[in-house]
Structure 1
Amino acid sequence: MAHQDRYGLPISTTSDAAASAYREGIDFMLAGWTGTAETLERAIAADPDFALAHIARARVHAFYQQGDLARQKAAVARELAATRGTERECSHVETLALAIEGRLPEAIAAMRQHVETWPRDAVVLSLPLGAFGLFAFSGMADHDRARHELCERVAQHYGEDWWFLTMYGWAMTENGDVARGRGVTERGFDLRRANAHAAHAVLHAMFEDGSIEAADRLVDDWIPSYDRAGILHGHIRWHQALGALEHGDAARALAIYADVLQPSVTQAPPLNVVTDGASLLWRLSAYGHAVPEALWLEADAAAQRLFPKSGLPFADVHMALFAAATQNHEALAARLAVIEQRLGDGKLPAGPVVPAICRALLAFVDEDYAACARTLAPVLADVVRIGGSHAQRELIEDTFIVALMRSGELPRARTLLDARLHRRPSLRDRRWQAAMG
């Protein structure tokens, strides 16, 4: 009998060991679990001509910004799929390869066509999902809705699958259906507790519905089962640090930073290293807590090594946080010049919101709060286009609100806070309201 993946799709290997390792490796990948790379390497060792194992390994390289290795593995996978792969496998490999190569519009088009034909190909379906997926980083303003609608279209093909429920529920949550999203995600989490993406998605739902204490308990109870080398380990603790800030507990947030987020200790992928560190330190500072300058300088130095050039808008915005906080006007000006050139050339899908955020952040640290608010106001509705999750993007709105308060525009700040509190409970927002009287 021909080998299949866990979703019943044929896979072109004659090796029992390769098929078994591939299935296990894909489950680890879909769960954000440790051992993914090693397990896929076992599959490749058992069958060096197994295209799907090579392209899956390439995707893991891409997660960690190992671009050369990822592209090399993708090229091998293309050749192998062409010689002994099925039509589905050739399409699978090509779609993942396009994503690995950063050819987002082509990858999205290929993904849509592939999922239409093979809706149970979970690896391809995973590409547009999540806060760092193809949809989120495409520059589209409706990527939250697009993920939700895509999951709705294929839900009948997955039933009570632990991975699909995890991502389906998170898509609901990010698209505003928080109560339903939390319930669906928790169903998936209950089916497989060794699933970092599920723990993460539940934390997002808890962030949105104000369950800060429950989120804190979840992390404390669950994180001991998850190795520090796990792709989401640091980011899950970052969520716990946000909960500490909701209570005004800067000391605990800084302790979490020192434990798992600081560049000298973190094992996270490069994008998380930069975005989690920058956003937590910025929030601490913007909320009025002292952040040692040495932390900013160390994190900035690491970020400059990881993202020396402008490229991904989500990364660029976080690099601007570092440049602004360290008063590195030269670095920010150089990055802005590249961003604005790409905007002028029509090569910045996220649009003018990216340079506007960068300029506003610099105005904020220069204590020109009126200029910060004035720069952000016209683009607030477009912040979603930089990608990431609502919890991550809220930093920009927080900066805007603080700028309004510090520039004396209290009525506008109150209006925004009222709207946010109507959408989700927030202890911090209530404190801000009380401070304004």
Structure 2
Amino acid sequence: MALEDRYGLPLSTTSHEAAGAYRDGADLMLAGWTGTAETLERAIAADPDFALAHIARGRVHAFYQQGDLARGKAALARELVAKRGTERERSHVETLALAIEGRLPEAIASTLKHIDAWPRDALVLSLPLGAFGLFAFSGMADHDRARHELCERVAQHYGEDWWFLAMSGWAMTENGDVARGRAVTERGFNLRRANAHAAHAVLHAMFEDGSIDAADRLVDEWIPTYDRAGILHGHIRWHQALGALEYGNATRALAIYADVLQPAATQAPPLNVITDSASLLWRLSAYGHAVPKALWLQADTAAQKLFPKSSLSFADVHMALFAAATQNREALAARLAVIEQRLADGKLPAGPVVPTIFRAFADEDYGTCVQMLAPVLGEVVRIGGSHAQRELIEDTFIVALMRSGELPRARALLDARLHRRPSLRDARWQAAMG
């Protein structure tokens, strides 16, 4: 009898130990849980020629920006699956390899073709989903809708699967169907509580509907079950820090930053390291709270090592925050020049919104910042990430309105936000408004 993964897809291994470790490792990856790498290594040790275990291990390397290791695993998996693998496994390996290699358009095309043929291949389906998935970083202006529609298309194949419910619910939330999205996500979370992606997706729904107190309680109750080495541990606490800022509690936000978000303390992947630290410190400053310059300098030093060159637009925007906050105009100018060249060469998927945001952050004239950001607010979605993360750009625009004397426009935007999230607290803006 052929061995299968948890979704009933055949596996080209005769080792029960390898198949079992692979199933467990895949589930741990889908849950964002610790032990993923070690479990996949056990699968590889049990069957060194098992291609799917190698490509899954490469995917974990890619999460942590271990590019050479990830690409090495992808190359090996391609060789192995060509010798011993089904058509589905060859397509699986090729699709994940393209994603690992950063070939986004090809990876997206391969993913969609693969899912049409094998809709229950969850590791492939996971590629375009989430705030850091292929769709989010494609430069598409409608990537929230694309994720939702993809999940709707394959929902019949998953039923009450704990992973799929959490991710499809989050896709609903990000696409604006917050009430339904929260309900579906919570259903998946309750099926498997040891699922960081589900906890994270629930927090996004709570952010969108303004359930700040409930989100804070959820983190306090759940986070002790999740090791600090977990891929989303720091980011989940980042959500809790945002909740503290809704109450104007900068002291608590800074305490969370010191505990798990600052580069010296976090065990998060590089992209989370720079985006969580930069965005939280920037928000604190924008809302009128004092941020020690040393925190910016320490975080900037780490960021420059992790992202020395222009790469993802989402990363570049956060690197602009570091350069602006540390008044490093040379760094801003150098990165902006590379970004503008990539735009001119047609190699910047997010388009001109990225250099525009760069210039808006760099300019200390609030009136100019307003003029730059106002025309592109509708295009900010193209940089990727989640709505909660991208709201930083709108916050910067609101602060620029306030500080350039356009309080009625600022208040109108805040009122619109409170209308969308009626239980939201407004204390974070008191210091900013002086």
User: Normalising TM by the smaller chain, what interval?
Assistant: over 0.9
Per the TM alignment, residue 403 of structure 1 is displaced from its structure 2 partner at its CA by: 0.3
Cross-structure match for 2:412: 415
Does the 8 A contact of 1:336 with 1:358 survive in 2?
yes
Does the 8 A contact of 2:22 with 2:53 survive in 1?
yes
Any residues of structure 2 matched to 1:17-416 within 5 Å, and which?
17-363=17-363, 366=364, 368-416=365-413
2: CA distance between counterparts of 1:436 and 1:99? 44
Measured against aligned partners, the alpha-carbon deviations of 1:207-247 in whole angstroms (never above 9, x if no partner) come to: 00000000000000000000000000000000000000000
Measured against aligned partners, the alpha-carbon deviations of 1:374-412 in whole angstroms (never above 9, x if no partner) come to: 111111100000000000000000000010011011222
Measured against aligned partners, the alpha-carbon deviations of 1:327-376 in whole angstroms (never above 9, x if no partner) come to: 0000010000000001011111101100111111112xx2x110111111
Measured against aligned partners, the alpha-carbon deviations of 1:95-149 in whole angstroms (never above 9, x if no partner) come to: 0000000000000000000000000000000000000000000000000000000
Q: For 1:242, what is the secondary structure of its paired residue?
A: helix
Does the 8 A contact of 1:372 with 1:400 survive in 2?
yes
Q: For 1:152, what is the secondary structure of its paired residue?
A: helix
Measured against aligned partners, the alpha-carbon deviations of 1:309-331 in whole angstroms (never above 9, x if no partner) come to: 00100000000000000000000
2: CA distance between counterparts of 1:433 and 1:21? 53
2: CA distance between counterparts of 1:168 and 1:431? 31
Distance 1:55 1:435, change over 3 A: closer
For 2:95, the aligned partner's letter is T
1: CA distance between counterparts of 2:142 and 2:149? 11
Which ranges in structure 2 are unaligned for 5 or more consecutive residues? none
2: CA distance between counterparts of 1:378 and 1:236? 32
For 2:398, the aligned partner's letter is I
2: CA distance between counterparts of 1:147 and 1:344? 29
Q: For 1:310, what is the secondary structure of its paired residue?
A: coil
Does the 8 A contact of 1:246 with 1:426 survive in 2?
no
Does the 8 A contact of 2:244 with 2:253 survive in 1?
yes
Per the TM alignment, residue 418 of structure 1 is displaced from its structure 2 partner at its CA by: 2.2
Does the 8 A contact of 2:55 with 2:74 survive in 1?
yes
Number of paired residues? 434
Per the TM alignment, residue 203 of structure 1 is displaced from its structure 2 partner at its CA by: 0.2
Per the TM alignment, residue 421 of structure 1 is displaced from its structure 2 partner at its CA by: 1.7
Does the 8 A contact of 2:248 with 2:427 survive in 1?
no
Distance 1:427 1:210, change over 3 A: closer
Distance 1:118 1:249, change over 3 A: same
Per the TM alignment, residue 417 of structure 1 is displaced from its structure 2 partner at its CA by: 1.7
Q: Give the structure, 1 or 2, with the largest relative contact order (CA under 8 Å, sep 6 or more).
A: 2
Which ranges in structure 1 are unaligned for 5 or more consecutive residues? none
1: CA distance between counterparts of 2:337 and 2:426? 35
2: CA distance between counterparts of 1:268 and 1:104? 23
Does the 8 A contact of 2:286 with 2:432 survive in 1?
no
1: CA distance between counterparts of 2:433 and 2:167? 39
Question: Identity of paired residues, percent?
Answer: 86
Superposition TM-score, scaled by structure 2 size:
0.98
Cross-structure match for 2:422: 425
Superposition TM-score, scaled by structure 1 size:
0.98
For 2:120, the aligned partner's letter is R
For 2:400, the aligned partner's letter is A
Does the 8 A contact of 1:51 with 1:81 survive in 2?
yes
Does the 8 A contact of 1:173 with 1:181 survive in 2?
yes
Q: For 1:392, what is the secondary structure of its paired residue?
A: helix
